[in-house]
Structure 1
Amino acid sequence: MITLLASARFFKAVARSIGQAAAWLVVLLVLTVVIDVVSRRFIVLGSTKLQDLEWHFHAALFLLSLGYAYVEGEHVRIDVLQARFGPKLAAVIEIVGAALFLVPFCVIVLHYGYNFVERSFLLDEGSASQTGLPHRWIIKSMLLAGFATLLAAAIGAIADSIAVLLGGKHPDDPHVRHQETGL
């Protein structure tokens, strides 16, 4: 049981750390948008590179935050029904949902995404615009990082749910939350 809970905590901590680090991309995104708007409005200097950079930051922010949102329970779920379930039934539903849908989806995206990124890297793909950013494989690799983070979060949630079924503490127990966050 201790190993199961420790592995769940580890996978969830990885997803949480990556999501918290990715949150700083908001600052870069806002700065890029401000610079782009100011340079277009007052200097009359449009930059395709800045526009490309905006969507690169936005995509990276979204993809790297997927696992964090799942770990923190901020993803889409039917909370009205889940609130009525006991911890064991909620754990079964979490296991079934993650094991049957989320994990296979992540594996498929990672499998095909690898070929997608590899092809972009080998071709040294750049922006569709002549004056855009080069090395499009960098942003495409965020797809792999994001779904690997989401997969780690799913494995952590499955491990937590198995621990609940085996009689361990429920992940929503304040003592468990206290240990995970260090508060």
Structure 2
Amino acid sequence: MTALLASARFLKAVARRIGQVSAWLIVLLILTVVLDVITRRFVVLGSTKLQDLEWHFHAALFLLSLGYAYVEGEHVRIDVLLERFGLKTAAAIEFLGAVLFLVPFCVIVLYFGWTFVERSFLLSEGSATQTGLPYRWIIKTSLLIGFLTLLLAALGVIADSLATLIGAKRKPEPDTHYDEVGL
């Protein structure tokens, strides 16, 4: 029982930490957008590389934050119904949803995503525009990392839900999540 709760805390802490670190991409995204706007507006110098970099940062920010959003309960769900259920019913719904839908979806994306990234790397794929960024495989790798993080978060939520269903007492999670595992 203790191992189940410890593994749930560890997996959720890993997803939280990756989300917290990836949140700093918003600063890079903002700086890139500001630089792009200034160079286009005042220097009259449009840059395809800056525009490519903007969507690269945006995609990485979104993908690397998936696990964090799931662990924190900030993902899309029907809270109107969920708040009416008891703790065990909510845990059962969360468990079934993660086991039947989220984990298989993550596994499928990771399985096919690996080929997607590998092909991009082997072909030295770059931007579709001639003046765009090279090495498209770098941004495509964030797809794998993001869904791997989401899978870890899902496994943590599954372990947590299972512990609730079998009657383990859950400790409230501390406010400083990243201190739990020393990440």
TM norm. shorter chain > 0.5: yes
User: Hey, what's the Cα distance between the residues in 2 that align with 1:179 and 1:41?
Assistant: 44
Query: Could you tell me which residue of structure 2 aligns to residue 131 of structure 1?
Result: 131
Identity value in percent: 73
Query: Could you tell me which residue of structure 1 aligns to residue 174 of structure 2?
Result: 178
User: Hey, what's the Cα distance between the residues in 2 that align with 1:132 and 1:54?
Assistant: 12
Shift of 1:178: 2.3
Contact 1:126 1:136 (8 Å CA) reproduced? yes
Shift of 1:169: 2.7
Structure 1 segments, 4+ long, off by >6 Å, are none
Query: Could you tell me which residue of structure 2 aligns to residue 88 of structure 1?
Result: 88
Deviations 1:86-119 (A, max 9, x none): 1111111111000000000000000000000000
Q: Which runs of 5+ in 2 are unaligned?
A: none
Query: Structure with the greater relative contact order (CA < 8 A, sep ≥ 6): 1 or 2?
Result: 2
Alignment: residue pair count = 179
Contact 1:12 1:157 (8 Å CA) reproduced? yes
Contact 1:18 1:65 (8 Å CA) reproduced? yes
Q: Which runs of 5+ in 1 are unaligned?
A: none
Deviations 1:137-178 (A, max 9, x none): 0000000000000000000000000000111134xxxx4222
User: Hey, what's the Cα distance between the residues in 1 that align with 2:143 and 2:19?
Assistant: 14
The answer as to 2:25 corresponding to 1:29 is no
CA-based RMSD = 1.3
The answer as to 2:181 corresponding to 1:165 is no
Shift of 1:180: 6.6
Query: Could you tell me which residue of structure 1 aligns to residue 52 of structure 2?
Result: 52
Task: Write the letter of the residue equivalent to 2:37.
Answer: V
Contact 1:12 1:153 (8 Å CA) reproduced? yes
User: Hey, what's the Cα distance between the residues in 2 that align with 1:90 and 1:58?
Assistant: 33
Shift of 1:179: 7.3
Query: Could you tell me which residue of structure 2 aligns to residue 114 of structure 1?
Result: 114
Task: Write the letter of the residue equivalent to 2:81.
Answer: L
Query: Could you tell me which residue of structure 2 aligns to residue 78 of structure 1?
Result: 78
| TM-score, normalised via structure 1 length | 0.95
User: Hey, what's the Cα distance between the residues in 1 that align with 2:172 and 2:10?
Assistant: 13
Task: Write the letter of the residue equivalent to 1:106.
Answer: C
The answer as to 2:153 corresponding to 1:153 is yes
